[in-house]
Structure 1
Amino acid sequence: MLTRVLIGRKAQFAALTAALDRAAAGHAGVVLVGGDAGVGKSHLVGALTTTARERGFAVLTGQCAALGESMPYLPLADALWTALRDPHSTEDEREALEKALAERPVLRRLLPDGDGAPDEASDLGRQQLLGATLGLLGELGGQRPVLLVLEDLHWADRSTRNLLVFLSRVLQRERVCLVGTYRTDDLHRRHPLRPVVAELLRLPNVTAVELQPFRPGETAEFLASLAGTDEEPPADLVERVHRRSEGNPFYAGELFAAADDRGLPSALADLLLARIERLTEDAQHVVRVAAVAGRRADDELLRRVSGLSEDAAGEALREVVSHQILVPSGAAGYTFRHALLREAVYADLLPGERTRLHRAFAAEFGRAVEPGEEAVPATNRHPRAAAELAYHSMAAHDLPTAFAASVRAGLDAERMGAPDEAYEHYDQALSLWDSVPEPDGSAGMNRVELEWAAVRSSARAGDVRRAVQRLRRLLAVIDPDDKALGAEVRERLAYYLHEADQLDESRKWAQEALDLTPVDPPTPARARVLATYVRSLLATPERYDEVPAMAAEALRVAREADVPSAEAAALISLGQYTEATLGPGPEETRAYSDAVRLARTSGNLQVMLRALYVQAHLPYETGDLARARPLADEAVRFTLDNGLAWSTYGINLRFLQFLIAYTDGDWDRASEIADGFGIRVARDVEAVVSSYALFLDVGRGGPRAEHRLQWIEPLWDGDQWLTYIAGGLAAEHRMWEGDEPGALKYVTAALGTSSPTDTGLIRIAAVGLWAHADRAVRARRTKDAAAEAAARAAADELVKTARFAATHSLDGRHDAWMGAEGRAWLARAEAEWRRAHGTDEPEHWRTVRDIFDYGFVYEVARSRWRLAESLAEHGDRDAAADEWRAAVTAAERLGACPLLRVLRDLGSRARLSDDRSRQDGGGGHDRGPLSGLTSREREVLKLVATGMGNKEIAATLFISPKTASVHVSNILAKLNVTSRTQAAALAHRENL
């Protein structure tokens, strides 16, 4: 088989085996194998799986089905179920997989014998399943490398496409190779896989392997291999087969097999059907039944639906298999040797025949889903009986059965963490509601409840817009006198509008929901409405003063109605209000701890994640890094254990974990965390995650920051937070590179994205003030009064921005609480503003250093740089040297190259370095006209060459003008020149 695969495929096979090698070495990768139908994708991947097993890989192989979007995670479930029964695996390997699945119930539910019911308390089922899959592959890869093959992705359901994208983006150091195959000829312009493939191929760990048709010589070699001889078939036969097949291996094989009959049909479809027509009548009937069954036909189902006796069905199946129309697949099933065969047979069925066979399959699947029961498969052979029943019933035009099965399939999809497919099933059921008798009884729920199910699935799938549309539609049809239902719909509408950042409308609906819920007695419904309402007030500046009273009311109602999730949400909102207005205290610490406990009790993962985040973020904001670190680590472990590392809060918690390590000076740990953030990004959310790593990239310098910014910058216009984070750090990067205009461009862009009361703007303003201060200092040294005035005026405007953000909260009246870091950045902005005006003193920079000294190692070192410079300017050289040495030590330990570079420049100019040989001119300058100059005289000559006078030289080198004059006189004498101009010319010629 391998020989046949490698005909014309050696380069492609080498690319695939290279991916195996990389995976074995701990570099996960994805290979997308594309090609027309019949070009040999499955043969190529089959050879790869054989090679992988020989190299000790665990092999998981699953296939998609041509059954639309109705069967979520089908290839993953197929791969897991097959691997548990893989005869190539040892008992220990199968037990390891079984154990790994047992520890991940969300994956176990995908299997035929999985159990459990839809989890209506969780909105994070899909993220859990994605995270569990990543964890499973990582665990298996820790034992031996893993090859995961997902075939026929052109038929993939939406959940499988999401899984493919997720794994392609997050697999990095796991010993996993993921291979996906798809038909390129099926990817029409609107095919849902087309943008997915285009997006994935931009990722650095994703490669493409494209299979082309055979060339004439390869067709000849292929036909010789089919004939089992080393001699090539007759040239005219090869020419005829190659021309007719257009180099397609599958068609070439079919044409070659038909050549003995000399009956080469005019159409390829006829060619494929000609193979079927040579079978006996019973065998042909079994093939037609299998074509209706779909991607894989179960042995027992085939026998029952065929209507043949046990012996006749068995004989027919043996005949079909012997002619290689069907091939055994799994423990008790068959697949077509090629999907093109199934398509040709299915298309050839008469309409009535097709309908009858679909009806027969629906009857069989109907036995696995009894009316009124939950959609749990009754047999191990049919893990998705409800979805199959819905599919076959629709094809059989049996709308009542399709309706009921769609509802049950939606529940099944929810249970499996596939909200996209759940929505599709619910949507189909709702479209049939008016076409079936007694729909309430068939569905086991009324129409409003079914609409709620569709809303829930949309939200869980992350499609908040669709959830909002459904809720608006529901609001238009419900009974206006049903205030309880009206309040519930409005509360959810407010919640999802808040998620979509439509804050004004969110507050409006939250207010209406509140007005519709009775004050007494306290009810769970009112508790939830109040929690959502308080959350909306937090984002409404003009209503900010109402938060404390409404939060207290929300807490009272939640406690009396015993709704711990609503109580936790209200505690968080109240804590955030107090923290933002008065600053954090022990009350917020207790409130967030209580919120975590309550959220854990309620089982509401969304509230739990929010509570864990604020609990860890509070000590970080107050500068208590020692307390913040374990809380963040615990929260991240929770997200990993629950498969939620890539949920919104999961990402935010990893960012917080990164920031704590970055702030605490553990840059190696921060680098490990940042490795998972990615560089080559295609979407806004990916760019936001990538931008977090810029803190480290900019701090350490080098080309990595520039490379990351090249990917991020095209996306940040569409995301306010991205522009703020990436734009601010891009400005800092440009300052380290000496590009002040570029830095100020980014500062302006970042400042334009946020409210003027956002305290985060203070850092951006401080970077801009750094640029204006440098301009003002340079202008003073060159006596450019106009440039200095312009820089000072710009600094005046920018410091106003920082001061306003520091003294105003959301309502524009209260003093804002900024946290330790915010106060430090304000102090730096003020010090830079004074530097722009030439009035900064060492005490200003000492204040910056002291405020950052809550544990922010890098910023303390950067503050010491400016403090040492200021001390040297004011003549306190010993104190300057102490600060300088401490800064150099920290910068060297961190690997902060840009900071280290300016520190060394300062040490040289201010003679703070301990290297006396450099100061005294020893070593390295023993040849050329400048060899007689000391290091200090060389520094003076460099400044003379720029046109500086003695006063400017003195200011730059922290010496007196008289000393500068002496140095210039000595230089002129040593160089044997009579003017500064001649000395400057000589310096230029010597490239000083």
Structure 2
Amino acid sequence: MPRDILTSVMARSAQKVLIGRSGELDRLLGVLDAAAGGLAGVALVGGDAGIGKTRLVGELCDLAQRRGIVTLIGQCAELGDALPYLPLADALRGAAADPGNPVGRAVEARPVLQRLLPGGDPGPADATAGALAQQRLFGSVLDMLAEVAADRPVLFVFEDLHWADRSTRDLLVFLTRMLQRERVCLVGTYRTDDLHRRHPLRQVLAELQRLPLVTGIELRPLGDDEMTEYLSLLSDTFGSEGNDGIPVGGVVERAGGNPFFAEELLAAAEDHTRLPGTLADLLLARVETLSDTARQVLRVAAVAGRRVDHDLLRAASGLADLPLEEALREIVSRRLLTTGRDGYAFRHALLQEAVYDDLLPGERTRLHTAFAELLAAEGGSPAELAHHYLASHDLPAALRASVEAGRLAVELGAPAEAHRHFERALELWDKVPDAESLARETRPRIALASAAAAADSGDYHRAVAQLRRLREHLDDPALLARTNERLAYYLADADGDREEMTRAARDAVGLASESPLLAQALATYARTLYYLYEVGEARATAARALEVARATGAPDAETSALVSLGLIEEETGSAARAEELLARATVRLSGDLSIDLRARFNHARVQYERGELRAAAEIVEAGVELARETGLTWSTFGTDMRFLQYLIHYADGDWDAAERLAAGFGVRVGTRAEATLSSFALFVEVGRGRPGADERLRWLSRFWSDELVTYMARAMAAELALWRGDPDTALEHVDAIISVLEPFDPGLIRIAATGLWALADAGRSGERADDLLRRARWAAANGLGGPRAELGPEGRAWLARAEAEWHRAAGTAVPGVWRRCVEAFGSGFVYEEARSRWRLAQSLLEAGDRDEAHSEWRRALAVADALGAEPLRGALTELGRRARFTEPGDDASPRPLAALTSREREVLAHVAAGLPNREIGERLFISQKTVSVHVSNILAKLGVTSRGQAAAVAHQEGLTATSPDGQAPARPGRRASR
């Protein structure tokens, strides 16, 4: 057998054995097994080049496929910054080519993902471009993975993340945060030696590795014994000396624990190659042993990148089929290239880099020119064309391709990459004659597109800076108007300088002629005036925007103006009139989905504020469906509508539905939008006494500088503290919220009521209580820019609660003040009505009206039972014990188990069955320490001193491990759908 074929066979045999990586593989399998069991996971595998990352992950993929797990593999490339979503497209392409892969069918049902496949039609530019298109794409990927994982677990590998584009990095972060109970495992590999201090992946890794979902694995160099074992499988010359007089033991020493380096050293010795000192030199030395034709083919392949299509390689090399095939057979037999479905790939990225770097400047330019011409003839990717044109110094073609690549990136939902392409075109502009003709656009328009892409990627600072520069060089009134309008819009989104924002918007209005542009400028100006609390002028400007929009045919500006008018009317006029304006804004789609979703959210919200919960539920349901149909479930207003939908269920008492929605609200939050959504889950978690509320609050504490998150999360933290008998901590949260809210914010009424609850529990009244009540009354009476015209029913109910809690703190709470609370919340706010009945029952008892108190107590207890509101139920149980009330349907004093939470009853049922804490934890999916805490609480509540006594009480009450509450113990995963 020829020596090169023998070497190849031995190497393939060695590759079948994984040496020195069993621990790392076990950790990866642990993440994969957990994902297959319903707990999504992420593994990030780092290590130096050649250390064995690909080999390790390849073994994982082989094992996964043998287990029937759907496997997706996507490869980043050095062109990553130019080609958005390259690993996603690579993985989907591989799945589409495999008829047995269910991902292919899932992709067919999602046109936004089909765009990433070869020949995929990007479709016409529409309202879902830039950031909105990216939100749609991210949502589609998440939805696709969830759909496939519902049938079979999924393993998705991102290789070489150090080359990933910004949009791919953002997608990885999004999936890591959003995947919770889906049977999906994500694995990413990256080179640690490539991560310089400012490498963009460093920040992503630091962010992700803080999450409990993420497992970090860094491959260490192999030890000498492991390396010796590996080399013994590679060569039958183990223990002898190579032809250069270097023993294999010397190879082990020189390799430094790097398997790829060791293999190349050994192969070089067997090929009679001089052993140079660096890996790059070594790789090139191996290339030099090839024939002239094979060496030339390898150099051509290196210009294409890590992979190259066979037909493209043949055309670029200029060789006939027979000599090309002979050269490729030689290269493949030496294990420099590997074969794939339709072409070849360098066995290791280091080899491609070494061969490419060794090309002469003229040779490199000539080959890039050849590839550019071939790709252009085949209709290749504009981003790839731009890369080759730049490298071949064809600046006019590079400018044209960069502009096309930017437009395509916008449509694909990759705004960061679009900005890079547009910026490159602008950099080339002055170096290219007739640039405008080549770009088929003016320079200012390209600059506007670049700024829009920067803003869509979240880089408002860069967008604003670019528009400021552009404004200084414009003399066209229409372009100057558009630039100022966009500047004002981005400053508003970024909460920038309000004076500059208003001045830019005003200038845009002054420069624009009667046109859709004037309508948009007026709508933006109205928005900025609203932010500045210039309510009168904002109303007049929005009304004019509405008039111009209708006259000039600008439906997006018309919808935006109607929304602004509705919000202003809500603050200063009639809620019914606000609802009418917002209803008009949702009659039809405007063509801008972001504005359409915003209109539907505000329409539903105003109905909710009016107490029209059923109407609000119908509107928000339609809005959520629109977001789902357009792939924008995870857009800003798609998210807003989901938490409003949750809030409506919370208010009307359908807590099971609310918890089902909250199952998608991640606990491990990392962005403001995620934190906002997560905050809402606390309403039911605190109301039901869920232990997960504490973990959620820990994650949310990083976002307490955000006003909305602070308002919701810290308000619920205050309630949690009050249920636990800690009014001082509750008051700390209340004070923190008051410090960030405007004095006219109606949310202040609820916060003041919570603070007064804490003062009353602490037995403190006086100046602080007076101040909180004064704040609540002022917020109820005053709105944006003047006296509040109308306060909604929920606001009026919370004001009644604040008044009643002030009286409770002062010791003057007669039943009448609490009855007013019950009546106020009786418009559909089920839980708050029950909480008010609890206080009313207390007040009636103090007034001596025992029968009426018993009646109110029963009604509140029935609601607490129906909702599963354990803290309220515990408080009512304690009140009933002290008053010697009986529960509905009982003839005696409260049952011994009445004070236990649902979880404590589950634990007690297993204690009664004789199970130890460890086994109870395994059955209930909680830690042994948590079981111990529950057992201690159970003993205290039952007034017993031993597990045996507690078990006796459980048996006496008919509580068993198979029927703790008359039905099978609920698994944690089923509780939300109970």
Give the TM-score normalised by the residue count of structure 1: 0.85
Q: Which residue of 2 aligns with 1:779?
A: none
- Rounded to whole Å, the distance in 2 between the matches of 1:115 and 1:815 is 52
Choose from 462, 481, 487 the match for 2:481. Answer: 487
Q: Which residue of 2 aligns with 1:160?
A: 168
The answer to whether the aligner puts 1:501 opposite 2:499 as a matched pair is no
CA positional deviation for 1:516: 2.2
Distance 1:406 1:565, change over 3 A: same
Q: Which residue of 1 aligns with 2:530?
A: 538
Deviations 1:384-419 (A, max 9, x none): 2x2112112222222222212111111121222211
- Rounded to whole Å, the distance in 2 between the matches of 1:416 and 1:329 is 27
State whether residues 694 and 705 of structure 1, in contact with CA within 8 Å, keep that contact through their aligned partners in structure 2.
Answer: yes
Choose from 712, 719, 723 the match for 2:710. Answer: 723
Deviations 1:637-685 (A, max 9, x none): 2222222222211221111111112112222222222222222233444
- Rounded to whole Å, the distance in 1 between the matches of 2:558 and 2:318 is 61
Distance 1:18 1:637, change over 3 A: farther
SS at 1:173's partner residue? coil
CA positional deviation for 1:101: 2.6
Alignment of 1:412-431 (within 5 A): 412-431=408-427
The answer to whether the aligner puts 1:807 opposite 2:758 as a matched pair is no
Deviations 1:424-469 (A, max 9, x none): 0000110111111111111111111111221221232232332222
State whether residues 30 and 177 of structure 1, in contact with CA within 8 Å, keep that contact through their aligned partners in structure 2.
Answer: yes
CA positional deviation for 1:501: 2.1
- Rounded to whole Å, the distance in 2 between the matches of 1:58 and 1:702 is 35
Q: Which residue of 1 aligns with 2:729?
A: 742
The answer to whether the aligner puts 1:823 opposite 2:796 as a matched pair is yes
SS at 2:397's partner residue? helix
Alignment of 1:112-191 (within 5 A): 112-117=118-123, 119-123=125-129, 124-191=132-199
Distance 1:693 1:483, change over 3 A: same
Q: Which residue of 2 aligns with 1:983?
A: none
- Rounded to whole Å, the distance in 2 between the matches of 1:46 and 1:688 is 39
- Rounded to whole Å, the distance in 2 between the matches of 1:393 and 1:534 is 46
Higher mean displacement: 202-211 or 438-447:
202-211
CA positional deviation for 1:69: 0.9
SS at 1:324's partner residue? coil
The answer to whether the aligner puts 1:444 opposite 2:431 as a matched pair is no
The answer to whether the aligner puts 1:202 opposite 2:175 as a matched pair is no
The answer to whether the aligner puts 1:335 opposite 2:345 as a matched pair is yes
CA positional deviation for 1:102: 3.2
- Rounded to whole Å, the distance in 1 between the matches of 2:861 and 2:532 is 46
Choose from 274, 278, 286 the match for 1:267. Answer: 278
CA positional deviation for 1:56: 1.7
- Rounded to whole Å, the distance in 1 between the matches of 2:538 and 2:849 is 52
Distance 1:889 1:271, change over 3 A: same
Q: Which residue of 1 aligns with 2:225?
A: 217
CA positional deviation for 1:476: 0.8
Deviations 1:171-224 (A, max 9, x none): 223222221111122112211111111111222322222222211221122122
SS at 1:597's partner residue? coil
SS at 2:74's partner residue? strand
The answer to whether the aligner puts 1:402 opposite 2:398 as a matched pair is yes
The answer to whether the aligner puts 1:570 opposite 2:566 as a matched pair is no
- Structure 1 unaligned regions, length at least 5: 369-377, 777-787, 922-992
Higher mean displacement: 750-759 or 904-913:
904-913
Choose from 557, 567, 580 the match for 2:571. Answer: 580
CA positional deviation for 1:918: 4.8
SS at 1:828's partner residue? helix
Q: Which amino acid aligns with 1:671?
A: E
- Rounded to whole Å, the distance in 2 between the matches of 1:595 and 1:103 is 31
Q: Which residue of 2 aligns with 1:512?
A: 507
State whether residues 28 and 173 of structure 1, in contact with CA within 8 Å, keep that contact through their aligned partners in structure 2.
Answer: yes
Q: Which residue of 2 aligns with 1:594?
A: 584
Q: Which amino acid aligns with 1:608?
A: D
Q: Which amino acid aligns with 2:847?
A: H
CA positional deviation for 1:870: 0.4
- Rounded to whole Å, the distance in 2 between the matches of 1:836 and 1:288 is 84
Q: Which residue of 2 aligns with 1:254?
A: 264
Aligned residues: 877
Q: Which residue of 2 aligns with 1:867?
A: 840
Q: Which residue of 2 aligns with 1:38?
A: 50
CA positional deviation for 1:920: 13
Q: Which residue of 1 aligns with 2:108?
A: 102
CA positional deviation for 1:847: 1.0
Choose from 18, 36, 52 the match for 1:24. Answer: 36
CA positional deviation for 1:893: 2.5
- Rounded to whole Å, the distance in 1 between the matches of 2:710 and 2:694 is 16
The answer to whether the aligner puts 1:792 opposite 2:766 as a matched pair is yes
- Rounded to whole Å, the distance in 2 between the matches of 1:551 and 1:414 is 30
State whether residues 288 and 346 of structure 1, in contact with CA within 8 Å, keep that contact through their aligned partners in structure 2.
Answer: yes
Q: Which residue of 2 aligns with 1:364?
A: 374
Q: Which residue of 2 aligns with 1:666?
A: 654
Q: Which amino acid aligns with 2:524?
A: T
CA positional deviation for 1:753: 0.2
Q: Which amino acid aligns with 2:394?
A: D
Q: Which residue of 1 aligns with 2:904?
A: none
Alignment of 1:752-771 (within 5 A): 752-771=739-758
Q: Which amino acid aligns with 2:206?
A: A
CA positional deviation for 1:911: 2.5
The answer to whether the aligner puts 1:392 opposite 2:388 as a matched pair is yes
State whether residues 223 and 233 of structure 1, in contact with CA within 8 Å, keep that contact through their aligned partners in structure 2.
Answer: no
State whether residues 23 and 174 of structure 1, in contact with CA within 8 Å, keep that contact through their aligned partners in structure 2.
Answer: yes
State whether residues 219 and 238 of structure 1, in contact with CA within 8 Å, keep that contact through their aligned partners in structure 2.
Answer: no
State whether residues 607 and 613 of structure 2, in contact with CA within 8 Å, keep that contact through their aligned partners in structure 1.
Answer: yes
- Structure 2 unaligned regions, length at least 5: 1-12, 897-978
Choose from 691, 698, 706 the match for 1:710. Answer: 698
Choose from 311, 314, 321 the match for 2:322. Answer: 311
Choose from 296, 306, 311 the match for 1:285. Answer: 296
State whether residues 571 and 788 of structure 2, in contact with CA within 8 Å, keep that contact through their aligned partners in structure 1.
Answer: no
State whether residues 274 and 285 of structure 2, in contact with CA within 8 Å, keep that contact through their aligned partners in structure 1.
Answer: no
Q: Which residue of 2 aligns with 1:952?
A: none
CA positional deviation for 1:122: 3.0
- Rounded to whole Å, the distance in 1 between the matches of 2:110 and 2:80 is 27
Higher mean displacement: 258-267 or 272-281:
258-267
Q: Which residue of 2 aligns with 1:892?
A: 865
Q: Which residue of 1 aligns with 2:915?
A: none
State whether residues 216 and 239 of structure 1, in contact with CA within 8 Å, keep that contact through their aligned partners in structure 2.
Answer: no
Deviations 1:602-637 (A, max 9, x none): 321111110121122222212222222232222222
- Rounded to whole Å, the distance in 1 between the matches of 2:864 and 2:680 is 20
CA positional deviation for 1:99: 4.0
Alignment of 1:913-992 (within 5 A): 913-914=886-887, 918=893
Q: Which amino acid aligns with 2:780?
A: A
Deviations 1:915-967 (A, max 9, x none): 7765999xxxxxxxxxxxxxxxxxxxxxxxxxxxxxxxxxxxxxxxxxxxxxx
- Rounded to whole Å, the distance in 2 between the matches of 1:233 and 1:158 is 50
CA positional deviation for 1:507: 2.5
Q: Which residue of 1 aligns with 2:973?
A: none
Deviations 1:835-877 (A, max 9, x none): 1222211111111111112222211111111110000000011
- Rounded to whole Å, the distance in 1 between the matches of 2:617 and 2:255 is 64
Q: Which amino acid aligns with 1:226?
A: L
- Rounded to whole Å, the distance in 1 between the matches of 2:289 and 2:346 is 17
Q: CA RMSD in A?
A: 2.4
Deviations 1:129-163 (A, max 9, x none): 11111122222223322221111111001111011
The answer to whether the aligner puts 1:558 opposite 2:549 as a matched pair is yes
